[in-house]
Amino acid sequence: MARRNILFIMCDQLRFDYLGCTGHPTIKTPNIDALAARGVTFSNTYCQSPICGPSRMSFYTGRYVSSHGSASNFAPLRIGERNIGHHLNPLGMRTVLVGKTHMIADREGMKRLGVEADSAVGVHHAQAGFETYERDDGVHPDSMVRPDVVYNQYLRSKGYAEDDNPWHWVANAVQTDEGVRSGFFNDCVDLPARVTDEDSETPYMTRRAMEFLAEDDGEKPWLLHLSYIKPHWPYVAPAPYNDMYSAEDVVPAIRSEGELADTNPLMKLFMERVAGKTFGKDTARETVIPVYMGLISQIDDQLGILFEFMGKRGLLDDTMVVFTSDHGDYLGDHWMGDKDYFHNPSVRIPLIVADPSEAADTTRGTVDDSLVEAIDLLPTFIEHQGGEVARNILDGRSLMPRIRGEDIEWRSYSVSEYDYSCQVFRPETGRMPLDCRTYMVATERWKYVHAPGYPPVLFDLENDPDELVDLGLSAEHKGVRQMMADHLADWALRYRQRETWSEEHNVRMTGMEEQLGVLIGYWNEGDAKGKDPGILPKRRPVAGD
Amino acid sequence: MARRNILFIMCDQLRFDYLGCTGHPTIKTPNIDALAARGVTFSNTYCQSPICGPSRMSFYTGRYVSSHGSASNFAPLRIGERNIGHHLNPLGMRTVLVGKTHMIADREGMKRLGVEADSAVGVHHAQAGFETYERDDGVHPDSMVRPDVVYNQYLRSKGYAEDDNPWHWVANAVQTDEGVRSGFFNDCVDLPARVTDEDSETPYMTRRAMEFLAEDDGEKPWLLHLSYIKPHWPYVAPAPYNDMYSAEDVVPAIRSEGELADTNPLMKLFMERVAGKTFGKDTARETVIPVYMGLISQIDDQLGILFEFMGKRGLLDDTMVVFTSDHGDYLGDHWMGDKDYFHNPSVRIPLIVADPSEAADTTRGTVDDSLVEAIDLLPTFIEHQGGEVARNILDGRSLMPRIRGEDIEWRSYSVSEYDYSCQVFRPETGRMPLDCRTYMVATERWKYVHAPGYPPVLFDLENDPDELVDLGLSAEHKGVRQMMADHLADWALRYRQRETWSEEHNVRMTGMEEQLGVLIGYWNEGDAKGKDPGILPKRRPVAGD
């Protein structure tokens, strides 16, 4: 088989609908649009949790958050979980990282099992199975910036040396008349970053990807995870991207006054966060969204450069390109900012898969609106690489048949989860962390949110595609809510931890005890009628006979 | 603190109601009855799965079967799971095994994490965290008997040397006029075993426990898991236990003709197994049950010897004694044999906890009919040993407050699970292994069985304590079934894999990002009103100023 690579591009906090090809009226993303034209756009894709860490752990394990257990940012992924490397490396594929993973090692588990942090196994675990060509988790507040952030070293080498933490004070800060302001404040992010386009994060990381491609010896197929931090906050863009768009390019907020009345009490806590208050105001939207759009166009420009580089080297012919994001961004829709809750701006993600192989020709340029989930990517990669998708381990399903245009049975609902135990409002809820759980289950028609201790939320996606009317307490929708709750129960009851036996092995074990002579409840030999008599213990002569 | 030990006695396949103290009218178990008189009898205790391996993995991990993932006999317990040793050894307690565990190591997981089979970590995992003073999983059919079964070596050393596998052909076989017959055939198990009482399994294993106690240097408290294989089949007892009881001592079968009409189709498959057909006949019950009872009285006699031995050494004063079983045995009730389904004879287990400490004096000799589960024992041991019960890892709850007579809030339903993928009838169901799941949820009043693809089963434990009338399709019980299904859904949706953060740590992480300077959605400094101003990035002077 010809060498086949995978370029697995992930943005951070990129909404599904902020691309030209997914319908945004003013944004310019010609290179991503061209990618969509040569691949399949999965237009109804949900992330497994609308927050960075848990969502990524689902991408990297192919398992739901409840399955892998890393439900909060910075909660270590337990040592026993199989990661992307465990699945792909045995198929002969390198798994290489340039950018962010948010992976936190399970140091306690490593200690328990005697796995040394600097051993090959320890490093493999700590990096989610990636070779880290360059890792940068992207957000480095002054109090927790690590001395080994390569990008900071780079910035210093380029002369941005006056600050301790140039990621913050150069790449994510702006210069005002009154001094330098952190990009964590949104009031003046329309000003340009204190870094040039060339030295800003997205071009830097794109160059690192190209450096890997240039250095690669071509011996093994690779999966390159190019994982950008942008357009994640701090929403600071270098010139010219900071003023590529203006308030006129901003689409209206998806929100209604009705959402502020009789709001579901848990949803309300999300709305009342600082980000909700900020983005509830048009000033903030008109200041920040143009920059958010600029950061996306910057990514698009960089992808243009990357694709051209790859094309010149012939790499686009044997590389499947995947473009996605870990979650979205409310940007003021539904009176919220940031992400974390389950409206589409937060929980839906863009997903484009462009497979250059002939088998994918029939679907090129099409849109597939099936219910797709982030966990489907790892099985897709495994099948792409010729491996078997282990159903006892992987919760997701390979998209390869869809990409080949095959008519297959598909899931009828999708699930996403969110753990609000780390939210500043948790103490107000009176709930302890293990009870701070929320679940979204969505069919093509309905979206249902279950949170223990709170009333349910229900949206009719057909008649209310903007999710403005919560039917969670509507008497006439009781049956629909029960149907959705049943889906959720079915989902929750599925085996997700029965990992040590494959289905094939389990089939072989059916009836095996009897075949090995463990005869349960046999009265005598007559009970073996129709079975292999070899299973029967032989009547033995009396000793001494 | 004074040295405090735990003697954790487990029988295999012992029904909850085959003890004098739990109401059996003819069986003689004076030593176990005396234990009950000095402890608490938990009369409403369910095992987590009515089959050896999965049930035991729940005892040893403190987690539901769906949590630890070892759902079938011989399915390895995955490497990441914490076992009894992981919980108790750090508290300074030795965990020592004499007898059966049914633990199967996760060799593939060990390889993946570089854990050598003969390393301390590898052995600890493979033995479920026990030091194996002697391990014997109890059932050794000729085709799979291992050469290192110590009991077989013992039997050979005692002159039972004419057979390759004396466990089978001496201890679990009988001599008839026509030759030696395996105890896997029930037609002549009324005959005595070909081994003496002294050399049979239960006394042998009891002596091994006493040898451990005699050798123990007294330095560390211990948990000794004395884990008998009997009264598990082969139902073969040495003289005099084989004819200590007669057909007259056998209580009537709990079954009705009504159960054979319109039987739930999955329940029916369990009934139609060989064991169901055998024990459906009175001949079999009258032949086998007296021997089953004899095996129990033999255990009781041996426990009398053990307790006397311990008493003489002063060990009963600082040893909490726990007596239980991994699951029950239908013995013809409900037209079934063996176990695996969810009627009480199969899923309920005996549980007596006798804590010699003064704090337990108020409950001595009492019966507690709260909903208790097998997974409650490990948390009980942890609290007994002064440790903290980690709610993020352990699904069960400590019984210590109940033993101290404290009035605490308790669970309102219990859950047990069974995976029928290994049953010989699986191919008839047309289902693949991952879909061969059954769940029991029981309140004090109701028992509900859910199995995907099959109608539900419902018993009214108040009006039908013998579980003879299945209300699974009763129109008037629709609401009850929904309530029970809701319990099951709530149970299934609980976090069971979010293991890497304790609740305490998670509470500390609430709002932590903001405290570290990750300001989400702040318009400007004004948004920090009422908060520690230290979280704000300081406005910096312009470079060169």
pLDDT at A294: 98
Q: Is A488 close to B493, i.e. CB distance below 8 A? A: yes
Query: How distant, in Å, are the alpha carbons of A103, A197, A199 from that of A160?
Result: 29, 14, 10
For residues B497-524, average pLDDT: 95
pLDDT for position A77: 98
- Report the greatest alpha carbon distance in chain B: 109
- Give residue-wise pLDDT tens across range B301-318: 999 999 999 999 999 999
DSSP secondary structure, B57-98, as one string: HHHHHTS-HHHH---STTPPPPTT---HHHHHGGGT-EEEEE
Q: Is residue A339 within 8 Å of A25, Cβ to Cβ? A: no
What would the mean pLDDT of A228-254 be, rounded to a whole number?
98
Q: Any residues with CB less than 8 A from the CB of B475 and at least 6 apart, and which? A: none
Spell B201-227 as b/e; 16+ CB within 10 A means b: bbbbbbbbbbebbeebeeeebbbbbbb
pLDDT-based confidence at A475, cuts 50/70/90?
Answer: very high
User: Residue A485, CB half-sphere, CA atoms under 13 Å: how many?
Assistant: 21
User: 3-state class of B268 per DSSP?
Assistant: helix
Exposure letters A308-331 (e unless 16+ CB within 10 A, then b): ebbeeeebbeebbbbbbbbbbbbb
Tell me whether strands B5-11 and B131-135 are parallel, antiparallel or unpaired: unpaired
Number of helices and strands in chain B (H, E): 19, 17
Could you tell me if B511 lies within 8 Å of chain A, comparing CB atoms? yes
Q: Across residues A37-41, what is the average pLDDT?
A: 98
CA distance B427 to A329: 48
Q: Give pLDDT tens digits for B280-296.
A: 999 999 999 999 999 99
| CA distances (Å), origin A312, targets A29, A214, A244, A305, A479 | 21, 11, 29, 11, 57
Quick one: which of A199, A229, A231, A226 has its CA closest to A213?
A226
What pLDDT score was predicted for residue A542? 54
Contact criterion met (CB < 8 Å) for B537 and A184: yes
Q: Do A274 and B527 touch (CB under 8 A)?
A: yes
Does A81 reach chain B within 8 Å, measured CB to CB? yes
- The string of pLDDT tens digits covering residues A303-340 is 999 999 999 999 999 999 999 999 999 999 999 999 99
Query: Is A144 in contact with B516 (Cβ distance < 8 A)?
Result: yes
Contact A299, A230 (CB under 8 A): yes
User: What mean pLDDT is reported for chain B?
Assistant: 96
Assign A533 a pLDDT band (cuts: 50, 70, 90): confident
Cα-to-chain-centroid distance, residue A137 = 14
For residue A296, give the DSSP letter: H
Walk across the sheet containing B446-450 and list its strands: B414-419, B437-442, B446-450, B457-460
CB B86 within 8 A of CB B414: no
Amino acid at A255: R
Q: Which two tokens stand for residue B496?
A: 């069971």
pLDDT above 70 coverage of chain B, percent: 98
Q: Min CA distance, B507 vs chain A (Å)?
A: 7
Helices (H), B397-475: 400-403, 426-429
Instruction: Give the 3-state secondary structure of residue B351.
Output: strand
Nearest Cα of chain B lies from the Cα of A503 at a distance, in angstroms, of 6
Q: How far apart are CA A141 and CA B535, in angstroms?
A: 10
Give dist(CA A261, CA A258) in Å, integer. 5
Q: Report the DSSP beta bridge partners of residue B11.
A: B325
* Structural tokens at position B253: 């079968």
pLDDT of res. B1? 42
| CA–CA distances in Å: residue A404 to residues A41, A366, B312 | 13, 11, 77
Q: What average pLDDT does range B77-81 have in this prediction?
A: 97
Looking at this protein, which amino acid is placed at residue A483?
A: M
Confidence of residue B534 (pLDDT cuts 50, 70, 90): confident
Convert the pLDDT of each residue in B337-381 to its tens digit. Answer: 999 999 999 999 999 999 999 999 999 999 999 999 999 999 999
The enclosing H or E element of B258 equals none
User: Which of B5, B36, B18, B14 lies closest to B354 in space, CA to CA?
Assistant: B36
With CA atoms as reference, report the closest residue to A3 among A406, A304, A356. A356
pLDDT at A148 over 90: no
Find the CB nearest A185 among B66, B143, B523: B523
**pLDDT score recorded for residue B541:** 61
Q: How many CB atoms lie within 10 A of CB A151?
A: 21
Count of other CB atoms within 10 angstroms of residue B478: 12
Token pair 């740590």 is found at B505
Q: Quick check: A121 contacting B, CB < 8 Å?
A: yes
The dihedrals phi and psi of A95, each to the nearest 5 degrees, come to: -120, 110
Using alpha carbons, select from B297, A516, B392 the residue that is nearest to residue B289. B297
List the 199-228 stretch of B: residues with Cβ below 8 A of A.
none
* Residues B374, B44 contacting (CB under 8 angstroms): no
Angle at alpha carbon of residue B343, lines to B338 and B344, rounded to 5°: 95
- Asked if omega into B456 is within 30° of 0 (cis), the reply is no
Which token pair is B56?
A: 């035991």
The answer to whether A543 faces chain B, any CB pair under 8 Å, is yes
C-alpha span between A122 and B126 (Å, rounded): 21
CA A86, chain centre distance (Å) = 18
Kindly state the DSSP code that residue A20 receives in the 8-state scheme.
G
Q: Which of B69, B433, B506 sits opposite A507 (nearest CB)?
A: B433
Most confident of A162-166, B111-115, B143-147: B111-115
Interior/surface letters A506-535, b for 16+ CB within 10 angstroms, e for the rest: beebbbebbeebbbbbbbebebbeeeeeeb
For residue A55, name the pLDDT band (cuts at 50, 70, 90). Answer: very high
- Asked whether B159 and A528 are in contact (CB, 8 A), the reply is no
Q: Which residue of A has its CA nearest to B540?
A: A180
DSSP state, residue A422: T
Is the whole model's pTM more than 0.90, yes or no? yes
CA dist list (Å): A303 to A40, A286, A298, B27: 17, 26, 9, 79
CA distances from B461 to B78, B442, B470 (A): 36, 9, 11
Pairing verdict, β A94-99 and A222-227? parallel
- Average pLDDT of the residues in A107-126: 98
* Sheet with B348-349, side-by-side order of all strands: B348-349, B45-46, B372-373
Q: What is the ipTM of this complex?
A: 0.95
Model pLDDT, residue A348: 98
pLDDT score recorded for residue B540 = 65
Distance CA B270, CA A486 (A): 27
> pLDDT of A499-531, one tens digit each?
999 999 999 999 999 999 999 999 999 999 888
Per-residue pLDDT band for A14 (boundaries 50, 70, 90) equals very high
Could you report the per-residue pLDDT of A198-215, keeping only the tens digit for each? 999 999 999 999 999 999
Candidates A84, A523, A532, partner chain B, best to mutate (most B CBs within 10 A): A523
Residue-wise pLDDT for B122-179, tens only, equals: 999 999 999 999 999 999 999 889 988 999 999 999 999 778 899 999 999 999 998 9
Paired tokens of A435: 């009870």
H helix intervals, A47-146: 52-61, 65-68, 84-88, 107-112, 120-126
